[in-house]
Amino acid sequence: MKTIRRNLYKWMVNLHPAPFRARFGPEMLSIYDESKGAAPLLRDAAVSILRQRLFRSPSANPPTLATGDPQTPLFATAGDGGGLHGFASRLAVGGAVTLALFSATVLGVGKGRLPTFVVGSLHPREQVLAIDRESMSAPSGPTTMVRVSDPAVDPLDEWAKAYFALLTPLAAIDRNGDRILDPRELDHASEALAKLDTDGNGFLDARECGQRFGDSAPHANAVTARDLASALIRQFDRDGDGGLIKSELPERLHLLHSAADANGDGRLTRAELEAHAAAVAWKDELGPTKEFLIRAARDFMGVQPALAALDVNGDGVISAIELRDAAKSLRTLDRNGDGALTIGELLPNAIDNETALIMRLDTDGDGTISKAERKTPLGRYYARILDAAQPARDGAIARPQVRRALIRERASIHKW
């Protein structure tokens, strides 16, 4: 048996190119005779045959050590040959070997058959490319998971939801309910607004745009004071104590915190939030006059950016001509020029909105809030702001004084 293996090894040595065999053949046989195991040497000989026949250039002269000429590299190699030993042939052989190794690896992983690789998401989301059902048809389901993080939650989302529900023109234009007026929705704004003309007079008044008083029947999408309080607590109560402190609210809601904090302890309870929301729907104890209602309608239309943009002449109604140009008017609110209107571009200025709300106390329309007009639920609710407005000797407070008091209140909030 030993003789047979030696003859096999000698035969494999003779398969090498003649120059290689002449130089290394005797040494290879000597090493074989001195070794105790034949198998490793047989494997090495087989690999050597492939390497010498496929990847080495034939040469009558073996590689020689270059000496004497300083321009000659330390080691000189045989020159390239033609035929099978050219560069293109070597590249083709290398590609074939690589393909064979890759195929063997794939077959090994698949236990003798080509495996099916399915890459996808079990729950398709808007953030990834659409996946056809056929791509998810593997019996064992996806073999590779692509995990997509949940989209960031906008802290004003609940607030935007309530605002769109209260302001009927926004809800009418926002067909897909995402609380963003996109370019397509703006293009059809005139058609959507025309459907709000419930009395058929050809224009939209403040009540058809969402204005409500305490004696008004709520519309279908009305949000109650309890709903608003619950939404704010659910959205911003990070510590879960059922109340809200200023640090839990975004900056634009700090003024709301000061206005609704009836006992001044720095923490808004659910009851205080409901009371503040109910005050917005205050029912006038003194009985509003016609002049007051007209002025309140103009204030309502003027404070809301979308309604103010639609009511171009500021008369408190959106006329037929203004309805026709609704898309053009609304696009004036697009501050960032992206073609859509987001909640940040639609929410009213906090100071102007609060000023208009407080000036509803002026029921006689003289432009000031008297001592008698302060003796209402809304007047008592805003007593701290009204006291800080530095009323005249007769107790009357004008709109500019109310606005300055609110600005000082906001300044104190920033210092806090």
pLDDT at 216: 45
Of the listed ranges 223-237, 310-324, 327-341, 343-357, the least confidently predicted one is: 223-237
pLDDT of residue 327: 94
Tokens representing 220 are 């279908």
Q: Give phi and psi for 98, each to the nearest 5.
A: -60, -45
Residues in Cβ contact with 387 at an 8 Å cutoff, skipping those fewer than 6 apart: none
Average pLDDT over residues 256-268: 81
- Indicate the pTM of the whole model: 0.44
Lowest mean pLDDT among 18-27, 173-182, 252-261, 281-290: 281-290
> Does residue 334 contact residue 325 with C-beta atoms inside 8 Å?
no
Q: What percent of the chain has pLDDT above 70?
A: 70
Mean pLDDT value across residues 105-117: 62
- pLDDT over 90 at 194, yes or no: yes
- How far apart CA 341 and CA 306 sit, in angstroms, is 10
Q: Which residue has the higher pLDDT, 121 or 144?
A: 144
